[in-house]
Amino acid sequence: SDLQKQEERGELLRPLVFVLLVLCSVLLYFKVSLMDPGFVESEKEAKAGESEEQSTAIPQVPSNVKMRRCGYCLVKQPMRAKHCQLCQHCVRRYDHHCPWIENCVGEKNHPLFIVYLSVQLVVLLWGGHVAWSGLYFEQSWDWLQHNILLVMSFFLIVIFTIVVLLLLISHLYLISCNITTWEFMSHHRISYLRHSELENPFDQGVILNLWRFFC
């Protein structure tokens, strides 16, 4: 049969891989949006062992910087944490609140967020290629009427591809510098950066920054 011939030629493998990528993208979306991004626990909830481990991972605070309690949830904020008024929590290594996933991007879900963006970019590029291959341009009104949905889909895919690509590139650049989006945008307002002798006290070199982030 035709289906068996297509299977023998490997033509069924590509649509299967595409469907699996789309499924993986959807699962990653729900995982990133529903998981704890790194909410700061109160002193009563935090364990002593975890506190010691976190304190060794935090760079030395400049002597003229006073650590403070959050004015909203009253927890003691570790360095690089910020209160998100949308989530009503302080988030460790706060990067930003993403409206796409309706969740903060922080210490725990930031690496998975990068994986999600990467998979989403592959799906969009593949979908754009499929949409483009189905377009055969003709200068006629009838052709446009029959292909208007395909043309609109292609342009939407192009727009989303550009947005995701720029977002992924900007995040990878900031990760390679070991600085968050919030720190990059609000450098002049953050006490531990404003009073630091170094422009970026967390930068340990591109390779080590990437290794510590992903591994």
Segment (H or E) for 90: strand 89-91
Is residue 61, in this structure, part of any structural domain at all? no
Domain, as residue range, for 19: 2-37+107-214
Is residue 49, in this structure, part of any structural domain at all? no
Is residue 165, in this structure, part of any structural domain at all? yes
Is residue 48, in this structure, part of any structural domain at all? no
pLDDT in tens, 77-128: 888 999 999 998 999 999 999 999 999 999 999 999 999 999 999 999 999 8
Is residue 56, in this structure, part of any structural domain at all? no
The percentage of the chain sitting over the pLDDT mark of 90, rounded to a whole number, equals: 51
Catalytic residue among 70, 98, 104, 215: 98
- Tell me the three state secondary structure of residue 215: coil
Per the prediction, the chain carries an average pLDDT of 83
Is residue 123, in this structure, part of any structural domain at all? yes
C-alpha distances (whole Å) from 83 to each of 14, 92, 155, 197, 201 are 44, 9, 37, 25, 22
Query: Total structural domains in the chain?
Result: 1
CA-closest candidate to residue 109, choices 171, 190, 42: 171
Q: How far is the C-alpha of 37 from the C-alpha of 182, rounded, in Å?
A: 15
| Catalytic-residue membership of 70 | no
Q: How far is the C-alpha of 54 from the C-alpha of 42, rounded, in Å?
A: 14
The yes-or-no verdict on residue 75 having pLDDT over 90 is: no
